[in-house]
Amino acid sequence: MDHHQIASFVVRFQLAAVDKETGRKQWRIKVTHVQEERETLFESIAEAMEFMQEMANEA
């Protein structure tokens, strides 16, 4: 394992909508992989985390 590898991410949450009946918030999550300057949008934290895990494993 190369200890000099780095995988950096910027994660931005933007409120997309609020359900009027339940008050539940829907988020748009943008993850930027810094090294590749790659931006990807997600609707759930689980999907965003899975993407970051995959990108870190490829680094």
Q: Please tell me the pTM assigned to this model.
A: 0.80
pLDDT at 59: 72
Does residue 2 surpass a pLDDT of 60?
Answer: no
For the chain, the three-class secondary structure string (H helix, E strand, C coil) is: CCCCCCCCEEEEEEEEEECCCCCCEEEEEEEEECCCCEEEEECCHHHHHHHHHHHHHHC
Sheet containing 9-18, strands listed edge to edge, beginning at the edge strand earlier in sequence = 9-18, 25-33, 38-42
